[in-house]
Amino acid sequence: MSQIPKDCKYTEEHEWVKMEGDIATMGITDYAQGELGDVVFLELPEEGDILKLGEAFGSIEAVKTVADLYSPVSGEVVGVNSELEDTPENVNQDPFGEGWLIKIKISDSAELDGLMDASAYEQHIA
Amino acid sequence: MSYVPHTATQIEEMLQEIGVKNYEDLIKAIPLELRLENGIDIPNGLSELEVINHLSKVGSENRKAIDSVSFLGGGSYDHFIPSAVNALLSRSEWYTAYTPYQPEVSQGTLQAIYEYQSVVCDITGMDVANASVYDGATALTEAMLLALRHGKRKTKILVSAGIHPHYMQVIDTYASTSGVDVKVIESKNGITDIHELDANIDDSVAAFIFSQPNFFGLLEDADSLVKISHGAGALAAVSVYPVSLGMLSSPGEYMADIVTAEGQCLGNPVGFGGPYLGIFAAKQKLIRQIPGRISGETVDRDGKRGYVLTLQTREQHIRRGKATSNICTNEGLNALAAVIYMALIGKRGFQELAELCYHKAHYLYEQICNLDGYSAEYPGEFFNEFTIHTPVPAKEVVDKAAEKGFFPGIRLDRFYPNMDHSLLIAVTEKRSRQEMDDLVEVLAQI
């Protein structure tokens, strides 16, 4: 059974978003990391990059596949988890904690309404 | 499978079926001026013996490099190939143009590719090499594409005017459909004008591309070119002549990021149309953006050494449209010839090879420059190839020397119409002092 924390919002692309003020921290869900298998590399944006809702901003590479990362909200990248360069396995071991990917200063809080809550996401992956 | 054309009856039936009166009626949409009036003129059939005789006669009209004394270079060089290269290469186990689709059952092929990659890394000073691409031109173009992937938002590529004109054409072909802005950095005295590069480079430039030695045989100031590129946040990509690396600084030493080369000179014969060998290597930081296939060494569950195709997530069977290139083919046999050749001549042999080419070329250069009417086109240093200004049009020199059994060099007006008195001359270890002195004699009489 995958972890699905109640304090996060979710996208159909299996990403989670957690808000603190106007800063959104995002990562991939426990379900997603389980489907991908061992993560070996992440291609992440740089601080200052402007992301648009739904656009691919990077990629996540596992042993046998690679998947695009889609921006769950629009805004400016204000933080990147650079520790993943050396420890990409954090995405597998702690997807909602140490395995976070980037922090985004959101530009349109209305976009959050389009995301799923925990119970909706639970149904989505059921 | 035999080819059986349609009979008149069948054609009639088909026309009737689709309701068209006759054949002319069927193709009436094609303008008259585009149609052949009397069909194709094909002679009557010949017997096998007659065909062989005919082709031999036509073939005998070719002037082959092997029957002449060749000073041709320009990216393709007449080096000696030990017989052992072809003896090993001809083993049927190797016969595939492809890296294997079910790679791990082909351990021998993977190991050969791995050894080839290791040799490429050794001589270029790079961290990683791929299993090869088509030829020197596509390899250099792939370097441009890699730089654009790495530079993400960067849209510009600067290219030295000193790269091979054919490579420039291939770069232009790719650039014309990919929206990249390619700007040529002009040369001064045959080498890249450093001030031009400095004045044109900025943070929108993904890479500066140059050649070492350049097309005119001259040595570029690679240290400065790379330094300026890096200063502006651009990658430095260089196309090299592998044999020269037995003597010159490796691209790793002058901090280049991507190295490509035409690998024909390593154990592969000169041939019009190839197949040739595209060498591609880069720094570790670019590994995930590299095109093509990469063989990697690993251990199996019993701890025994084995080989795999690694980093396949870059490739089209996984990455689809976002693959780092759609090249899944490599020049397998040519790469194998290169690694067999390198293993045969060894490290010391590779250095001696470069030294022979260098010294012989400099001997011939001196002799030609001493002739009345002949002079060096450019003042710069060179490795084994140099450009001579000829007293009469270079075409005349080439034609007259050919009558005496020499290919004296490449006429540069074939690439640069205003350089009709310029001859590009290459000297390999195969050229004896006698052959060089004979060429000088021939030139003196023109």
- Touching check for A94 and chain B: CB below 8 Å? no
- Looking at chain B, which residue has its C-alpha nearest residue A65? B313
Question: If you ran DSSP here, which 8-state letter would residue B192 be given?
Answer: E
Which residues in chain A are closer than 8 Å to B322, comparing Cβ atoms? 68
Question: Nearest 5°: phi and psi at A50?
Answer: -100, 125
- Touching check for B313 and chain A: CB below 8 Å? yes
Q: Hey, which residues 320-379 in chain B have their CB within 8 Å of chain A?
A: 322
- Closest chain A C-alpha to B100 CA, distance in angstroms: 18
Asked if A5 and A118 touch (Cβ cutoff 8 Å), the reply is yes
Q: Which residue intervals of chain B bear CATH 3.40.640.10?
A: 83-341
- Length reported for chain A: 126
Asked if B316 and B156 touch (Cβ cutoff 8 Å), the reply is no
* pLDDT confidence of residue B328: 62
Q: What DSSP assignment string belongs to B38-74?
A: S----PPP--HHHHHHHHHHHHTTS--GGGSEE---T
- Looking at chain A, which residue has its C-alpha nearest residue B311? A63
Distance CA B18, CA B2 (A): 27
Q: Do A41 and B288 touch (CB under 8 A)?
A: yes
Instruction: Name the nearest CA neighbour of B290 among B254, B314, B260, B255.
Output: B314
Q: Which of A41, A62, A66 sits opposite B319 (nearest CB)?
A: A66
- Closest chain A C-alpha to B203 CA, distance in angstroms: 16
Burial group, residue A99, by CB count within 10 angstroms (0-12, 13-18, 19+): buried
- Looking at chain B, which residue has its C-alpha nearest residue A41? B288
* Best residue of A42, A61, A63, A70 to probe chain B, by most B CBs closer than 10 Å: A61
Distance CA A55, CA A68 (A): 9
* pLDDT confidence of residue B98: 63
ipTM of the complex model: 0.73
* pLDDT confidence of residue B152: 81
* pLDDT confidence of residue B361: 98
Partners of B426 in beta bridges: B385
Percent of chain A with pLDDT over 70: 99
Q: Do B319 and A61 touch (CB under 8 A)?
A: no
* pLDDT confidence of residue B63: 79
Instruction: Name the nearest CA neighbour of B378 among B368, B388, B391, B370.
Output: B388
Query: How much of chain A is in helix, strand and coil states, percent to nearest 5?
Result: 25, 35, 40
Partners of B421 in beta bridges: none
- Touching check for B288 and chain A: CB below 8 Å? yes
Q: What is the mean pLDDT of each run of 10 residues along chain B (446 residues)?
A: 79 93 90 86 91 94 83 96 95 73 83 96 98 95 95 93 98 92 97 97 97 98 98 98 98 98 96 90 94 92 93 79 73 93 97 98 98 96 98 97 95 96 98 97 95
Q: What DSSP assignment string belongs to B278-325?
A: EEEEE-GGGGGG--S-EEEEEE-TTS-EEEEEE-GGGSHHHHGGGSS-
- Topology of domain A9-108, CATH: OB fold (Dihydrolipoamide Acetyltransferase, E2P) (2.40.50)
Evaluate the omega torsion of the peptide bond into residue B393 and state whether it is cis, within 30 degrees of 0: no
Q: Which residue intervals of chain B bear CATH 3.90.1150.10?
A: 65-79+347-445
Handedness of CA B199, B200, B204, B206 (dihedral sign): negative
Q: What DSSP assignment string belongs to A40-86?
A: EEEE---TT-EE-TT-EEEEEEESS-EEEEE-SS-EEEEEE-GGGGT
Q: Do B318 and A68 touch (CB under 8 A)?
A: no
Domain boundaries B65-79+347-445, corresponding CATH code:
3.90.1150.10
Q: How far is CA B179 from CA B137, B155, B173, B227, in A?
A: 19, 8, 11, 27
- Looking at chain A, which residue has its C-alpha nearest residue B314? A66
* pLDDT confidence of residue B319: 76
* pLDDT confidence of residue B325: 76
- Closest chain B C-alpha to A117 CA, distance in angstroms: 31
Say whether pLDDT at A40 is over 60: yes
- Touching check for A50 and chain B: CB below 8 Å? no
- Looking at chain B, which residue has its C-alpha nearest residue A40? B311
CA B224 to chain centroid: 25
Q: Would you say the pTM of this structure is higher than 0.90?
A: no
- Touching check for A6 and chain B: CB below 8 Å? no
- Touching check for A43 and chain B: CB below 8 Å? yes
CATH entry 3.40.640.10 includes domain B83-341:
yes
Tokens representing B262 are 């035409």
Which residues in chain A are closer than 8 Å to B103, comparing Cβ atoms? none
* A69-117 pLDDT, tens digit each: 999 999 999 999 999 999 999 999 999 999 999 999 999 999 999 999 9
Residue corresponding to tokens 């740089």: A46
Question: Nearest 5°: phi and psi at A26?
Answer: -135, 155
* pLDDT confidence of residue B366: 98
Which residues in chain A are closer than 8 Å to B288, comparing Cβ atoms? 41, 43, 61
Q: Do B313 and A61 touch (CB under 8 A)?
A: yes
Asked if B280 and B290 touch (Cβ cutoff 8 Å), the reply is yes
- Touching check for A68 and chain B: CB below 8 Å? yes
| Domain spans in chain A, listed from the N-terminal domain onward | 9-108
- The CA R_g of chain A, rounded to the nearest whole Å, is 13
Q: Which regions of B314-421 does DSSP assign to beta strands (E)?
A: 375-376, 385-389, 406-407, 410-411
Q: Do B313 and A66 touch (CB under 8 A)?
A: yes
- Looking at chain A, which residue has its C-alpha nearest residue B312? A64
- Closest chain A C-alpha to B317 CA, distance in angstroms: 10
- Looking at chain B, which residue has its C-alpha nearest residue A62? B313
By DSSP bridging, strand B205-212 and strand B235-240 are parallel
- Touching check for A37 and chain B: CB below 8 Å? no
- Touching check for A38 and chain B: CB below 8 Å? no
